[in-house]
Amino acid sequence: MTEIAELVRTQVDLSGLMRVLAKNLYSTPEVAVRELVQNAHDSCVRRQLEDKSAFEPRIIVTADPAAGTLAIRDTGAGLTREEIDRYLATVGAGYTGRLREQGLGDGLIGQFGIGFLSAYVVSERVELSTTSYQTPDQGWLFSSAGGERYSVRPHPAGQVGTTVLLRLNERFRLLSNPEAVSRLLQRYCCLLPFPIHLADASAPPVNRPPPPWRLSAEEVPSPLRRKRLGLEFASRFERQFEPLCTFDVAPGHGGEARGLLWIQDGATYGTSDNRNVCVFVRGMMVSRDARDLLPEWAGFCGGVIEADGLNPTASREDLQKDAAFHATAAQLRETLIEGLATLAREDAATWRRVVMRHNEALLGAALCDDRLLALLADVLKVPTSEGDLTLPAIRRRSGTRVHISTGEAGGSEEVLFRALGVPVVEGTRYAALPFTQRFVEREGGAVVMLGTREGNAQLFRPAEVSPETLEKLKALFAEDGVELVPARFSPPALPLVRVPDRDAELKERLARDEADKRIGAAVLGLARAFTATLPSNAKARLYLNLDAPALQAVLAAPPERAKEGAALLRALCTLVARGDERAVGQSVSTALEQLSGALAALLSSGK
Amino acid sequence: MDIWDWVERSVEDARKAGRHRLAELILRVPQWATNDDHAQLDAVMPEALALAREAKSPWLEVYFRHWNLQSRVLHRLEVTEWMSEAARLLDYAHSDAAKGCPQSVCVTQDFASCFGHLDGPGYVEERLAAARETLSRIDATWPCFTCISTECAAALADGERLEESLAFLDKQEAALLSAGLGRLRQRFLGSRVDTLLELGRPREALELLEAAGDPADENERLERQIHQARALGLLGQLDEAREVLPTPDMMKPALNLYRLWAEAAGLLAAKGARPNDWLLERTLLEMEDALSKNGAVRKAFGIARERAWLALLRRARTTALHACARMEALLPRLRRPLGADVDVARTRAEALALPRPQPPLPDSPDALLDEEREGGPEEALDAYRAARERWPGHEGLVQAEASALEALGRAAEAEEVLRAHLAREPGALYVLRRLLGLYLQRRRLDALRALAGDLLGQGGPVGAQATARWYLAQAALAEQKPDEAKTHLRALVELDPDSLPATLRLASLEREGGELEAALARLNVAVARWPEPGPHDWERMVVATLMDRWEAVRDSAARLGLPVPGESGPVYDEDGPLCRVRFIEENGELSDLFAEQTGPVTARVLSIALPGYPQHTGDEVVFTMPPLNPPPAPEDQGRHTWLYPVVAVKRPGHQYVFELEGVHPGPEPLEALRTALRGVDARVSVRSDDRYWVSSPLPEEQVDGLELKGLYALVAVPPEVSLAGVDAVLRDVTAGWKYPLVWRGLLEKLGREEELARHRELAEKYNLEG
């Protein structure tokens, strides 16, 4: 062995690979820190396996902003001269892989032997000084800029272990900032078993205390302290919000993951998606954003889990969506649902805060799972004409019926509902309509949607009238294609409502010749075959309210007056429908003319 | 025409117009539809439509309605319910309002596909005509080209023109490739694989699947897994097939794939790769039920056929016949039988040819009921039926048969079994309870009322009548009809005065309805009838407290062994423990407030609410038992307070609450203020903490960054206390403080304009809100 540095060419086409690495494999530079700490960790594991002498495994990371360097020192196995060539110069030949092949690598993280290359992505030069436990009297200094060539020279033997010094690129100088590195280590390396120190070994390890789920009940007997540890740990990972409460993830429900889930303490809209899940595999973070592990409805949740059964993709920045992934997703879903149920039962104050913060998102969630619906049916609020109300509160006001407006039934709908004097659910707002429907299916009662056949039947109770009254009504209100329905409904101040029949309208439109010009013959044939199966209804129904004093007065008036009165009421009907001509059958201008004419006639006849 | 280009432009336009929510929904609605996130889609659909209409964009309206139909019809197969909407949308998308809409083609497809799902083979010609008509109007550059071609190939396959279907797909793929779109064998993967499997060419199907890129969405992923399982199953690679077939749980939202799954699962079961048992039978029956209910008749028929076939394989005669009956019921709903009728007849003959089950029976029905059954409910059903032939009147066997049917997913038949037994044995009380309970559980309230009404009309035995009344009351309560429930419970109590649950429920309904005298009388009788103290005593104390009948309160408290102060007269404990009480506010929100307990079922609220919120401080309330929260864990003993539901406010606090704000004076002066206010019966509740800061009002301290610890407190004053007196105390105690406090609300109430103006000015200097 000479003192002269050897210059060696690496055995692969690095420039191409580095481009790929830099661009695709590692989208974030901090991954380099993760990879090198992982190498340091694996080196300690290797020494535990191979070297029988006692040693204290530890990793020390030193960031020097003035020098623009980052150093990762370990007390692991170190490398011999031969190993340097074999493992640092050959992509895919990491020692970790070999140990694993021999079935020895349960505590190991690395998989691909390419972690070291990430150092080149962020550095101008990488220097590695090492002393192997096999040759404790001989040290080596490896040095390379860019990785295509490297030199190895003898170096005074030091403590057994390895130090990797990165002389950082200008672009990645942030990695020499101790605070930034500390935060990185806290997140990326918090699950590694060996102590990791920042700057020097006397500083408290950054990966202590261990995550709460690794602490036994004996270590932390107080539930309150456990709760606080959970919240503290969660706030390290939740970037946008404070965590409001946490749920422990434990193996079960077909999944093997352990960890924490939490609810965020920030208000959300129905479809806000702030899900985030950090995933650790064999102690190393492999994904910061495995949001798909949480159900789509859980837009207000975050989590950290460790699950060695999950499989990272080659870049180790994401997870393969395989059977283990789906099993873990199911496990987290169940954990979340059980956690919410426990919260509701045992911590009313926090539960109410969760409900208040995430009312809208939870409306959507309740639709996805019947257990959530059972939990939330009584406590979530839906938007109504009288502010946000829970459904039990609405039913206290409107009896067994819950009225919903979707604006589909034409202009009369809003007026009728407003006149009813009960809260009306605003069905066009997020989740309000399906949540209300599901609530009523569950708890009983009826949903009343105007414009639907069922809704109309609920609102307008058909009334028996004598043949003479019916004749009178026909004479006063009959129109072509409109069915007169004598009925009784609230409020009595509303004498008549006209509701279009959508199926009848469709049938009529498709039957017209002009439809042939608009729609292809084959599909129109199918459409006509379908509408032929629909019952033949009038295109609209005019519900005449026999409880209305105005209508009663018209019926009691002498024929001429009655005619004028009926015209007045019809015009009123048009005007309250706010110009929705589909619902009223006449234009607003005609209505106004009719109103003026009838009023003039009434006043002049009263003289 | 590139529809996605139009979608992107629409998103941009919406954002530019400040319609960010609309933009978000344009992007996300298709994702929810294709990923089977149906609940999310349903949650946003009315909103999306309203936003499209508000933006006066008929094209976007068509777009959202189209995606809704994709979810409703193409994924969930809700044909019956949504066919009208599909027809309406067809009409609307081709109307003047939506003229030129790029999605009018898709809408045509939505409508035509309703028929494919209703009865694919029955509508082959019509579907082909519709698809060809549309294809003649577009070219391969339209995204719809793929969908319509898929539909055309499916129609050909439904017409058993499999080779033609494959050739057609080749032609369409060539057109796509020459238009520079798509990868070979990728676009029509599902259709192609399906057809290859039908043709008995699993190897090719598997090769295609393995060479394919990532699936576009969750539904496609499931479809591929099912196809893969079937191909592997056909090739005899059973372990791999079992591994890859999705579980029934994963299949739940993907109704469009039920038929495919049934076929694959059936194949694996037949080959012994998974159990051919009652669990598979129940899963398939659930799938069949869902499809039949939605109107996907041919697919439902196919699953019933699969069930029959599997039942024949495992020689389950009863199930096979059940499946045949289902197929027969579906037949008339098909447009054309196309051999389905022959198929049913043959299957029925095969089922009938199986030997009748003759399970060995023990000596007594009870021994049978005690037996552990390994074969699950399917086998048990045969045993119970055989046993019933031997012991026809045994109520336990009837119930067991009903339970077996329920476990098999056949609740309607379970009802039928119970009903038939009752028709023969009207006095079978357990069967009656079971049936009424089943009706209630399935919310078949009309059936419940009809049966209970018949029983009452017949004037049968007291037990049956009482049972009928109880369930009628439950049905009324399920529909929020307390008066109707009370009528039934009163009749029940008259029939059977020994029913404590009925007595208690009736008393609480009477109390809730304000009929306090009736409730108390009933509870007095109950206390005499049931000497053992219990829930009737608690309810009696609630009612008696509401009525100031203290002797009854004291009597029940004594019976329960509860200490109450004094010998007679009102019960009011000045030193009761701290508890919490729950109010349900007008808007339905719950307020849990601290209170001091003043009697066994009474408390006085301590918590003070912020102005503008419902105020309960000082309210004297009556609550019921039991508490709403569980007892404390041993380590929480010291911190635990019971939480009780408030039933009524007996005496409203009517306290006036105002805010007291400014710079925190320090602990001692604050304590002095608190003491002085307590002297006039006013209470202070400090709401601010160390994170609350205000500015200094002093000119010499008006420098940037100088902030002082702030105080935000609420003061509650009982109605009998003079507000002017409180004002005087405040002025007196705070006189001479370096930083004066501000109480704007109180001054406004007192009409002290001058002082109010001064306080307002000060508040501004402190930088206070409002």
Residue A581 reports pLDDT greater than 60: no
Task: State the smallest CA–CA distance between residue B307 and chain A in angstroms.
Answer: 28
pLDDT tens digits, B232-243? 999 999 999 999
Residue A97 reports pLDDT greater than 60: no
Q: How far apart are CA A255 and CA A277, in angstroms?
A: 16
Residue A587 reports pLDDT greater than 80: no
- Mutation target for A interface from B20, B22, B40: give the one with most A CBs within 10 A: B40
Inter-chain contacts counted by CB atoms under 8 A, chains A and B: 151
Contact between A431 and B43 using a beta-carbon 8 Å cutoff: yes
Of B35, B585, B635, the CB nearest to A223: B635
Could you tell me how many residues make up chain A? 607
Q: How far apart are CA A502 and CA A521, in angstroms?
A: 23
Confidence at A582, pLDDT banded by 50, 70, 90? low
Q: Are A143 and A127 in contact (CB under 8 A)?
A: yes
Residue A312 reports pLDDT greater than 90: no
B159 vs A286, higher pLDDT: B159
State residue B479's pLDDT score. 83
A window 454-483, beta carbon within 8 A of B: none
- Mutation target for B interface from A526, A580, A582: give the one with most B CBs within 10 A: A526
Contact between A407 and B53 using a beta-carbon 8 Å cutoff: yes
User: Which residues of chain B neighbour A432 with C-beta distances below 8 Å?
Assistant: 46
Q: Which of A84-93, A531-540, B7-16 has the highest mean pLDDT?
A: B7-16
State residue A1's pLDDT score. 37
Contact between B87 and A510 using a beta-carbon 8 Å cutoff: yes
Contact between A428 and B47 using a beta-carbon 8 Å cutoff: yes
State residue A93's pLDDT score. 45
A window 252-291, beta carbon within 8 A of B: 270-271
CB contact A434 to B (< 8 Å)? yes
A window 406-425, beta carbon within 8 A of B: 406-407
State residue A112's pLDDT score. 39
Among A491, A481, A601, CA closest to A551 = A491
Contact between A395 and B480 using a beta-carbon 8 Å cutoff: yes
Cα angle value A65/A68/A71 (rounded, 5°): 90
Task: State the smallest CA–CA distance between residue B639 and chain A in angstroms.
Answer: 12
Of the candidate ranges A292-301, A455-464, B149-158, B320-329, the one whose mean pLDDT is the lowest? A455-464
Residue A597 reports pLDDT greater than 90: no
- Mutation target for A interface from B64, B108, B114: give the one with most A CBs within 10 A: B108
Residue A490 reports pLDDT greater than 70: yes
Contact between B133 and A367 using a beta-carbon 8 Å cutoff: no
Q: B692-714 burial string, b = 16+ CB within 10 Å, else e? A: eebbbbeeeeeeeeeebebbbbb
Confidence at A600, pLDDT banded by 50, 70, 90? confident
Could you tell me how many residues make up chain B? 770
Contact between A352 and B643 using a beta-carbon 8 Å cutoff: no
Of B126, B480, B588, the CB nearest to A522: B126
Bridge partners (DSSP) of residue A461 are: A488
State residue A114's pLDDT score. 58
Of B88, B115, B443, the CB nearest to A506: B88
Task: State the smallest CA–CA distance between residue A498 and chain B in angstroms.
Answer: 21
Residue A193 reports pLDDT greater than 60: yes
State residue A585's pLDDT score. 60
Q: Could you write out the three-class secondary structure of B415-455?
A: HHHHHHHHHHCCCCHHHHHHHHHHHHHCCCHHHHHHHHHHH
Q: Could you write out the three-class secondary structure of B506-525?
A: HHHHHHHCCCHHHHHHHHHH
State residue B588's pLDDT score. 87
State residue B765's pLDDT score. 84
User: Which residues of chain A neighbour B130 with C-beta distances below 8 Å?
Assistant: 520, 522-523, 526
Task: State the smallest CA–CA distance between residue A424 and chain B in angstroms.
Answer: 13
State residue B401's pLDDT score. 96
State residue B620's pLDDT score. 96
Task: State the smallest CA–CA distance between residue A116 and chain B in angstroms.
Answer: 30
Mean pLDDT of chain A: 83
Residue A91 reports pLDDT greater than 60: no
CB contact A363 to B (< 8 Å)? yes
pLDDT tens digits, A231-261? 989 988 887 889 999 999 999 998 999 999 9
Pairing of strands A123-131, A161-168: antiparallel
Contact between B592 and A523 using a beta-carbon 8 Å cutoff: no
Confidence at A108, pLDDT banded by 50, 70, 90? very low
State residue B705's pLDDT score. 57
Residues of chain B with pLDDT under 70: 1-2, 182-185, 702-706, 769-770
Task: State the smallest CA–CA distance between residue B693 and chain A in angstroms.
Answer: 22
B13 burial via Cβ count (<10 Å: 0-12, 13-18, 19+):
middle
State residue A179's pLDDT score. 87
Closest residue, chain B, to A389 (C-alpha): B587
Residue A286 reports pLDDT greater than 50: yes
State residue A17's pLDDT score. 53
Q: Reduced to 3 states, what is the DSSP secondary structure of residue A339?
A: helix
User: Which residues of chain B neighbour A445 with C-beta distances below 8 Å?
Assistant: 479-480
